[in-house]
């Protein structure tokens, strides 16, 4: 079986077994396209192009990663292959879609060169909740966790998580190790790591002199969001944090919680 | 929420740093050797008479030359635990050299010297050898039998609180 055939099978798996996940999205986009007629004169070509790209490039992008798995699994039934790949695929596709929507959003913004954004677009016209608004809601950036971590020691000084996470002390230490590893590797004096992408999460790192703030985010983290987030974090550091807070994790954590519980961003 | 301190395990490859940590945190031991790549972090809260302290322990990749340690992995540590293998003299013959480096770079961080794998040797013999070389160890331990493992970490914790 050559690689082309394998890709065909992959395509089939992706476009049949994965439909479960995708169906919704595609439906929403279809619906969106048919509804937003006047706007769609401008937008549809871009959207079409993107969707075509998406369908065309997906096997290409994912191909190498799964060729190995396919080699051993391919002899079994297609169903078994799909099952083996499903968890990996689900995440990759979700991430891919997310990345594509982000690009699309930025692309549209650029072309219309205005304050045009998905948010405006979706909420324009009638204010009924439609498929598009739901889609926006689905992929909107959300803060999952905020950690304030002492530089050097990597000790956690304050933590606010929406749900319980794996051990946050170890997470803080590992983040610090990764951060210093990368910074050492580039060894460019002032360079500091600002962001880590991990599976479906983006970890935004805001550096201060004795500590840094790590914000774990799901959804679309674009420049617009990054800007806003930075402002909020800088304000927090400037107006809320005192020197003594680092010595007292308990009160620091309380401060952090009360500052961010009202969905400030 | 007790106070947290960073502690770093140092020493040659294969002396039992990861095994000591696993024995201390999970109370398990394995004969198989998994090389630590980069750094692995575990933590445990130690309860002393009056206070508790959470040790956040960095198990960094082993090396025989301490000047090769990534400085950022050692930064911010409150204690170092220097582990050697009591059954392999090469792992403690260079202690003086490595200690000097630590003293120079981290003058305020205390160092605890631990001779591990004591189950493999005659403790009389090793004690004499250490004495002859003027090595001031704090404990001889075994990750395999558990001997002195709890005690050595308790000792580290107690000393951290004393200095706090
Ligand atoms: N007999 C004995 N073997 C040990 C002891 N501690 C570790 N080992 C073994 O020594 C090898 C290296 O241990 P490891 O903890 O990975 O060393 P590290 O490289 O310093 O982290 C493993 O095969 C362990 O099973 C011990 O106290 N006694
Ligand atoms: Mg190890």
| Domain residue limits, chain B | 2-163
* Helix/strand/coil for A74: coil
Instruction: Provide long-range contacts, Cβ within 8 A and 24+ apart, for A228-234.
Output: A228/A265, A229/A204, A229/A265, A230/A206, A232/A264, A232/A265, A233/A206, A234/A206
- Complex-level ipTM beyond the 0.85 threshold: no
Residues with CB under 5 A from ligand 2 (ion): B 18, 36
Query: Which residues in chain A touch residue B73, judged by CB atoms under 8 angstroms apart?
Result: 177, 180
Q: Whose CA is nearest to atom 28 of ligand 1?
A: B117
CATH number for region A79-260: 3.30.450.70
| CB-nearest partner of A170 from B42, B75, B76 | B42
Whether A27 contacts A131, CB under 8 Å: yes
Q: Is the pTM higher than 0.80?
A: no
Task: Output the tens digit of pLDDT for each of chain A's 265 residues.
Answer: 565 666 566 556 555 544 455 566 666 666 666 665 555 566 666 667 777 776 677 667 666 666 666 565 555 555 555 555 555 555 666 666 667 767 766 666 565 544 445 555 555 554 444 555 566 666 788 899 999 999 999 999 999 988 877 789 998 999 999 888 888 777 666 678 889 888 788 999 998 888 999 999 988 888 888 988 998 999 888 888 888 888 888 899 999 988 887 665 6
Give the burial string for B14-34 (b: 16+ CB within 10 Å, else e).
Answer: ebbbbbbbbbbeeeebeeeee
| CB-nearest partner of B1 from A152, A183, A249 | A249
A149: buried, middle or exposed (CB in 10 Å: 19+, 13-18, 0-12)?
Answer: buried
In the reported structure, the alpha carbon of residue A200 is separated from the centroid of ligand 1 by a whole-number distance in angstroms of 37
| Domain residue limits, chain A | 1-76, 79-260
Q: What is the pLDDT of residue A148?
A: 96
Name the helix (H) or strand (E) containing A212: strand A211-218
pLDDT, tens digit, 9 for 90 and up, residues B15-25 = 999 999 999 99
Query: Which residues in chain B touch residue A155, judged by CB atoms under 8 angstroms apart?
Result: 4-6, 56, 76
C-alpha B134/C-alpha A31 separation (Å) is 81
CA count, 13 A, side-chain hemisphere, A34: 7
Distances in Å between the alpha carbon of A233 and those of A227, A238, B52? 10, 8, 32
C-alpha B78/C-alpha A10 separation (Å) is 53
Q: What is the pLDDT of residue B106?
A: 96
C-alpha B85/C-alpha B129 separation (Å) is 13
Q: Whose CA is nearest to atom 2 of ligand 1?
A: B117
Q: Whose CA is nearest to atom 13 of ligand 1?
A: B16
C-alpha A246/C-alpha A11 separation (Å) is 52
Give me the architecture of the B2-163 domain, per CATH.
3-Layer(aba) Sandwich (3.40)
| CB-nearest partner of B77 from A151, A153, A181 | A153
**B39, closest residue in chain A (CA to CA):** A177
For B148, which DSSP code? T
Question: From the CB of B13, is ligand 1 less than 6 Å away?
Answer: yes
A211: buried, middle or exposed (CB in 10 Å: 19+, 13-18, 0-12)?
Answer: buried
Instruction: Provide long-range contacts, Cβ within 8 A and 24+ apart, for A94-99.
Output: A94/A21, A94/A200, A95/A199, A95/A200, A96/A54, A96/A58, A96/A61, A97/A22, A97/A25, A97/A54, A98/A139, A98/A200, A98/A219, A98/A220
The band of B41, judged by pLDDT with boundaries at 50, 70 and 90, is: very high
Closest CA to A16 of A89, A99, A94, A72: A89
């Amino acid at each position: 079986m050559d690689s082309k055939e394998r890709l065909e099978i992959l395509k089939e798996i992706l476009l049949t077994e994965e439909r479960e996940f995708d169906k919704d999205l595609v439906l929403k986009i279809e619906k969106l396209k048919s509804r937003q007629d006047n706007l769609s004169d401008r937008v549809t070509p871009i959207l079409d192009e993107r969707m075509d790209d998406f369908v065309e490039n997906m096997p290409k992008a994912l191909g190498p990663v799964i060729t190995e798995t396919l080699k051993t699994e391919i002899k079994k039934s297609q169903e078994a292959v799909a099952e083996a790949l499903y968890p990996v695929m689900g995440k990759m596709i979700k991430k891919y879609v997310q990345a594509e929507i982000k690009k699309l959003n930025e692309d549209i913004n650029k072309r219309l060169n205005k304050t045009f954004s998905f948010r405006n677009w979706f909420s324009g016209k009638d204010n009924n909740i439609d498929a598009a608004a739901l889609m926006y809601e689905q992929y909107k950036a959300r803060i999952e966790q905020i950690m304030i971590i002492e530089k050097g020691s990597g000790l956690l000084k304050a933590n606010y998580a929406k749900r319980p996470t794996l051990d946050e002390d170890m997470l803080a230490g590992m983040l610090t190790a990764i951060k210093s590893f990368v910074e050492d590797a580039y060894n460019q004096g002032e360079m500091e790591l600002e962001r880590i992408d991990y599976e479906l999460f983006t970890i935004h790192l805001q550096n201060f002199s004795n500590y840094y703030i790590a914000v774990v985010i799901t959804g679309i983290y674009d420049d617009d969001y990054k800007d806003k987030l930075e402002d909020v974090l800088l304000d927090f550091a400037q107006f809320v944090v005192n020197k003594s807070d680092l010595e007292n994790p308990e009160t620091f954590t309380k401060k952090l919680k009360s500052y961010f519980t009202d969905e400030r961003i | 929420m007790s106070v947290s301190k960073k502690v770093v395990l140092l020493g040659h490859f294969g002396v039992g740093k990861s095994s000591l940590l696993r024995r201390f945190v999970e109370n398990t031991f394995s004969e198989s050797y998994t090389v630590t790549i980069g750094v692995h972090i575990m933590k445990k809260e130690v309860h002393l008479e009056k206070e508790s302290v959470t040790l956040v322990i960095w198990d960094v990749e082993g090396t025989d030359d301490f000047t090769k340690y990534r400085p950022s992995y050692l930064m911010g540590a409150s204690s170092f635990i220097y582990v050697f293998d009591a059954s392999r003299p090469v792992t403690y013959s260079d202690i003086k050299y490595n200690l000097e480096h630590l003293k120079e770079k981290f003058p305020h961080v205390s160092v605890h010297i631990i001779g591990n794998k004591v189950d493999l040797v005659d403790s009389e013999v090793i004690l004499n050898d250490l004495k002859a070389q003027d090595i001031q160890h704090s404990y001889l331990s075994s990750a395999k039998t558990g001997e002195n493992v709890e005690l050595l970490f308790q000792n580290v914790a107690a000393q951290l609180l004393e200095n706090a």
